[in-house]
Structure 1
Amino acid sequence: MPLSPSQTRDLLEQLGHRPKKQLGQNFLIDGNIVRKSLELAEVAAGDHVVEIGPGLGTLTRALLDAGAIVHAVEKDPVLGTHVESIATEEPRLHLVKGDALDYPLGDLPEDLQDYKIVANLPYAISTPWMAAVLENRLPSVMTLMLQKEAAQRYAAKAGTKQFGAISIFLHAAFDVLPGHDVSGSCFYPKPDVGSTLMHLRRKTAPFRFKPESTQLIREIFQQRRKQISSLLRKAKSDTATRWLESLASAGIDPSARPEQIDTQQWISLEKS
Structure 2
Amino acid sequence: MALSPSKTSELLRQLEHRPNKKLGQNFLIDGNLVEKSISMASLPTNYPVLEIGPGLGTLTSHLLNLGHTVYAVEIDRRLEAHLREILNSFIESGQFNLVRADAVKQPIGNLPDDITEYSVVANLPYAISSAWLESLLGSEKLPTSMVMMLQKEATERMLAPPGTKAYNALAIFLQASYQQRGYHSVPGRCFYPAPAVASALLKMEKKTEPYLFAKETRSLIRRIFTQRRKQIGSLLKKEEHEIQQIMTSWLEENNICSTTRPEKISVDQWIKLGGQFPSTN
Q: Does 1:169 align with 2:166?
A: no
Alpha-carbon distance between aligned partners in 1 of 2:54 and 2:274, rounded to the nearest angstrom:
37
1:52 correspondence with 2:52? yes
Structure 2 match to 1:212 = 216
Q: Distance in 2 between the 1:269 and 1:106 partners? A: 31
Residue 100 of structure 1, CA deviation: 1.0
**Does the C-alpha gap of structure 1 residues 44 and 10 become closer, same or farther in structure 2, counting only changes over 3 Å?**
farther
The equivalences for 1:220-239 within 5 A come to 220-239=224-243
1:70 equivalent to 2:70? Answer yes
Residue 273 (structure 2) pairs with residue 269 (structure 1): yes
In the alignment, what sits opposite 1:152? 156
Q: 1:240 to 1:182 in 2, by over 3 A?
A: farther
Counterpart of 2:178, as a letter, is F
Return the alpha-carbon distance in structure 2 between the equivalents of residues 157 and 75 of structure 1.
33
Deviates more, 1:146-155 or 1:199-208: 146-155
How far the C-alpha of 1:102 sits from its partner, in A, is: 2.3
- 3-state secondary structure, aligned to 2:89: coil
2:190 is aligned to 186
Q: Aligned equivalents of 2:273 and 2:22: distance in 1?
A: 39
**Separation in 1 of the partners of 2:150 and 2:89?**
30
Residue equivalent to 1:129:
132
Opposite residue 85 of structure 2, the aligned amino acid is S
Instruction: State the distance in 1 between where 2:241 and 2:107 align.
Output: 30
Are the structure 2 counterparts of residues 270 and 103 from structure 1 closer, same or farther at C-alpha, using a change threshold of 3 Å? closer
Q: What's the offset of the Cα at 1:237?
A: 4.7
Q: CA deviation at 1:265?
A: 1.1
Matches within 5 A, 1:251-270: 251-270=255-274
| TM-score, normalised relative to structure 1 | 0.96
Cα displacement string for residues 193-238 of structure 1 (whole angstroms, at most 9, x for unaligned residues): 1111111000000011121111110110111111111111211252
Corresponding position of 1:22: 22
Residue type of the alignment partner of 2:169: A
Mapped partners of 1:46, 1:238: distance in 2: 49
Q: Distance in 2 between matches of 1:205 and 1:214?
A: 19
Deviation readout 1:159-179 (Å, 9 max, x if unpaired): 111111000000000002331
Alignment partners' CA distance in 2, 1:245 and 1:104? 34
Q: CA deviation at 1:65?
A: 1.4
Once residues 206 and 251 of structure 1 are traced to their aligned partners in structure 2, the CA distance between those partners, rounded to angstroms, is 24
Q: What do residues 7-63 of structure 1 show as CA deviations (whole Å, max 9, x unaligned)? A: 212211221111111111111111121111111211233211110111110000011
Partner of 1:144, secondary structure, is: strand
Is 1:37 equivalent to 2:37 in the alignment?
yes
Secondary structure of the residue that 1:56 maps to in structure 2? coil
* Counterpart-to-counterpart distance in 1, 2:106 and 2:16: 26
C-alpha separation in 2, matches of 1:219 and 1:132: 16
Q: Does 1:115 align with 2:92?
A: no
Determine if contact 1:233/1:241 at 8 Å carries over to the other structure.
no
User: Is 2:40–2:182's contact at 8 Å kept on the other side of the alignment?
Assistant: no
What is the RMSD of the two structures over their aligned residues, measured on CA atoms? Answer: 1.3
Go from structure 1 to structure 2 and tell me whether the alpha carbon gap of 1:112 and 1:12 turns closer, same or farther (over 3 Å shift).
same
Residues 39 and 237 of structure 1, relative CA distance in 2, 3 Å threshold? farther
1:121/1:215 CA distance change after superposition, 3 Å:
same
Q: Which sections of structure 1, spanning at least 5 residues, go unmatched?
A: none
Tell me if 1:248 matches 2:252.
yes
Q: SS at the partner of 1:24?
A: coil
For residues 210 and 139 of structure 1, the distance between their equivalents in structure 2, rounded to whole angstroms, comes to 18
C-alpha separation between the residues in 1 aligned to 2:11 and 2:214? Answer: 46
2:122 alignment partner AA? A
User: Is the 1:232–1:241 contact (alpha carbons within 8 Å) kept by the matching residues of 2?
Assistant: no
Number of the residue aligned with 2:279 = none
- For residues 215 and 61 of structure 1, the distance between their equivalents in structure 2, rounded to whole angstroms, comes to 38
Looking at structure 2, the residues matched to 237 and 37 of structure 1 have their Cα atoms a distance apart, in angstroms, of 48
1:103 equivalent in alignment to 2:96: no
- Amino acid across the alignment from 1:158: P
3-state secondary structure, aligned to 2:106: coil
Number of equivalences: 272
